[in-house]
Each structure stands twice: as structure tokens, then as C-alpha cells.
Amino acid sequence: MARFDNHPTVKWWREQATSNQQTSTIPLNSDALRSLCLEALADDVGFVEVDRPAIADQHSDILRAFPPAKTLISFVTRMNRENIRTPVRSAANLEFHANYDHANEVARRIAKTLEQAGVRSMIPGASFPMEMDQFPGKIWVISHKPVAVAAGLGQMGIHRLVIHPKFGNFIALGTILIDAAVTEYTYPIDYNPCLECKLCVAACPVGAIGADGHFNFSACYTHNYREFMSGFTDWAKTIANSKSAHEYQQKVNDSESASMWQSLSFNAQYKAAYCMAACPAGEDVIAPFLSDRKAFIQEVVKPLQDKVETIYVIPGSDAETYVPKRFPHKTVKQVSSGIRPKSIQGFLFGLPLLFQRNQSEGLNAVYHFTFTGSESRKATVTIQNKTVKIEEGHIGKANLSVKADSKTWLGFLGKEQNIVWALVRRKIRIRGSLKLLQAFGQCFPS
């Protein structure tokens, strides 16, 4: 470093270093930081220390992304409710993407001001996750919802959206990681704004939200996010597997092709998000619902229910059974989930998300999995009373034991390996009834 001693920048920094060291450990004033965030056009804000137990499962990911993180700034920006409520989904998508862009810009304004004060920050992004090298695993850096709940910005409703006590669920969430502590942190509100009115249950076109609180992630993901990630992968495979334009048109109609073009040109389009549209919770939102519930349902919920549209479902899924019974005027189209786990960890992580409880009716079995080869792992999967439980190691007595080479098993899941051939080559070994393996597969259609 001696050869840099006389450089003007080096001289300047060394003159500043002493004073910077004296102030770097002083916590930021929480009231001043809150005012800064609101002036940057956040609509509400809270602060969570990085080691808060409520976000412990994100701790390693946070520090991997930004090692000096000490505090998470959680904030919300409001959406235009009427754009979300309309059955015209182009208007809803315009609002979604415009508000996500706004939230990211709010975060950038806050970060810029903090940088000028000597506070380092990192913005994971409020909108679409970008870590696609990890797909179909965890592709996001921060799970904004649990951070927002920890920060006191709302609670999760039965539709799995954060409901702000004032703004309802018509919000975008943002998080900023900073390298400073603050003088006062915020904590969860002491009630849930969710009314449990079940309007989200009534509006959901795929039955993803159960009246008993159950949530079918797979059903929601397959339809609502049809033009994102896995749906796009499935569409691309459809093109590749079509021998001619005529064969492609037999599988994908002109409207669907145009919709995919729209997503590629103007941001991916959500197919529903009706649960958000129908939600009446929140002080700023609740008046029409309480004033005249029947009128609210007629104006907001029924147009979404009556909309003639294509609903995307996985063959053999609960959604495929639900849609024709509940919404016979909507067209059901079978598609692949497009999800192919890249690892045994991804396979096990995805089981609760892909589980179809109605397809598991009558099945009560314990499965022991032993994976060998490039990825060694033991796990127990218990399917009982229409629930699924995944545990490390071999727990209890198995009704079916599966020992498999990890690469072969992943190839089988990706439909690249024939299970009969794998059994013959003893790359996959089964102890128990093969029917139990078939029943297992029916619970996780893809």
C-alpha cells in the first residue's frame, strides 16, 4: 500500500477514518429512519434485527447475501384496489408490476440516502425473484412475508397474503438489509386483520384455499403462475416437441400464444390473484363489505367467479377435480407443472408443496427412502389422514422402503429414466408392495 500513500483519495480517506470509526457503531435513530423511509414514499415501515428468532430460517441466506447485515427494513407500498378487483386481468397485472417497480425505486431512494450517511445496504428486490440458477429450488433471497409480519406490518391471512391492518392485502412488500442497528425495533401486531370471511375461498378458480385453512400450493402455482418459471418451461418443451406448426396449434391456441408473447414483452402475467381481489380486510378497505355484503359479493366476487377463462391444472390433481364441479363454465386445460428437482434436497423440499390431499384419501403409509451415490440421504415420508410429513432419517416401521441411486431417482422424476429398467438394473430397489409406490406418485402429480 506504500505506493498509494500520496494518492489524493488515500489521503482523504485516512483523514476521515478516525471519525468514521467513532460513529460506525452508534445505532440509527429509529424515528429518523422511519421518517426517511416515508419521505422516500414507503407507506409504512418496520425494523427487524437480523437475529430475530421469527426469521431464523432465513438467517444464513441473509448473511450469505449481505454479511454485515444487522437490521432488516421492511416496508409496504399501496396498490390501486380497483385495478386488482376488476376481472380485466391486464389492468391487474399493470398494477402489480407498476407497484413492484415503485417499491424497488423506494428501496433505492432509501439506500441512496443511507449510503450518503455512511450506512451500507443491500436491496434483495421487491418483485420477481432472480436467482434462476437455483430453480426449481429456492430462487429468492428474502422471504418478504415473514419479515413483514415480524416487523408489525400485518399478519398472514388464510389466503397466504400479508394483510396490513390499514391497507389490507393491496400492498407490495419490500426489504432492505443494512449494516447498522437501530435504536428501537418493531414487533408483530397483536391481532390478525383477516376476517376469515372465506371470500378468497369462494373466488379462487382452482380451489387452492381450503375453508379449513389448508393451502394447495401446487394448484395456485400451476394456474396463477402459468407464464412464469415452470409454466414457461412447459410451454418451451411443447414447442420443442411439436413436429410442425399444425401440431403446435393443436396443443396451444392463438390466444395462449399471444398471452405468452405478452408476458415476454411486458412482464409475466398473473392469471388470477383473485384471492387478493376478493379480500375485504383492512381499515381502508372494509367499508363496502360491512355496509352491504351482498352488494360487495355481486360487485367484486361474482364477476371473478363468472369469468369465462382457461384454468390450468396438473392431470390427476385436486384442482382438476375441483374446477368442473365448482366452475363448469371455465375451460380446464391439463399441463405439466414443469418442476424437475435438481437434487434430493429439492425433491424432499417440494413434497409438501406438491401434495394433493384429496388424491391421498384412504392412504395411510410410512415410506423410508435411502438415497445413495452422488447425494446420500435418508428420509421418512408419512402420508396419513390426508396429510404429509417429511422427517430426516428412518422413523418408525416402513410400509414401503425405497433404496435408490440419487441420479437415477432424479432422472425417474424427470421422466428421463424408466423405473422398470432402473429396477432391473437395481439402481432402484423396493421392499414392499409396488402399489404403495404407485399410490405415493398419485399424491404428487406433476
Nearest 10 degrees: Cα torsion 292, 298, 301, 304? -160
Asked whether 337 and 218 are in contact (CB, 8 A), the reply is yes
Spatial separation of the C-alpha atoms in residues 60 and 52, rounded to whole Å: 12
Identify the pLDDT of residue 19: 60
Identify the pLDDT of residue 294: 97
Spatial separation of the C-alpha atoms in residues 134 and 126, rounded to whole Å: 18
CB atoms within 10 A of CB 212: 7
Identify the pLDDT of residue 124: 92
Secondary structure of 130-199 in HEC code, one letter for each residue: CCHHHCCCCCCCCCHHHHHHHCCCCEECCCCCEEECCCECCEEEEEEEECCCECCCCCCCCCCCCCCCCH
Identify the pLDDT of residue 14: 83
Spatial separation of the C-alpha atoms in residues 441 and 378, rounded to whole Å: 19
The owner of cell 391444472 is 313
The secondary structure element, H or E, covering residue 292 is none
Identify the pLDDT of residue 93: 95
Which stretches in the chain have pLDDT values below 50? none
Identify the pLDDT of residue 337: 79
Q: For 287-344, list the strands marked E by DSSP.
A: 310-313, 331-334
* Percent of the chain clearing pLDDT 90 (strictly above): 82
Please report the DSSP string for 201-240 in residue order. HHH-TT--B-TTS-B-HHHHHHHHTTTSHHHHHHHHHHHH
Query: What is the Cα 265 distance to its own chain's centre?
Result: 23
Identify the pLDDT of residue 2: 66
Asked whether 33 and 9 are in contact (CB, 8 A), the reply is no
Identify the pLDDT of residue 341: 86
Please report the DSSP string for 121-132 in residue order. EE---SSS---G
Phi, psi (degrees; rounded to nearest 5) at 390: -115, 130
Asked whether 168 and 249 are in contact (CB, 8 A), the reply is no
Spatial separation of the C-alpha atoms in residues 310 and 390, rounded to whole Å: 34
CB atoms within 10 A of CB 383: 23
Identify the pLDDT of residue 416: 82
Identify the pLDDT of residue 11: 83
* Grid coordinates of 227: 407464464
Identify the pLDDT of residue 21: 57
Q: For 349-409, list the strands marked E by DSSP.
A: 365-372, 377-384, 387-392, 400-405
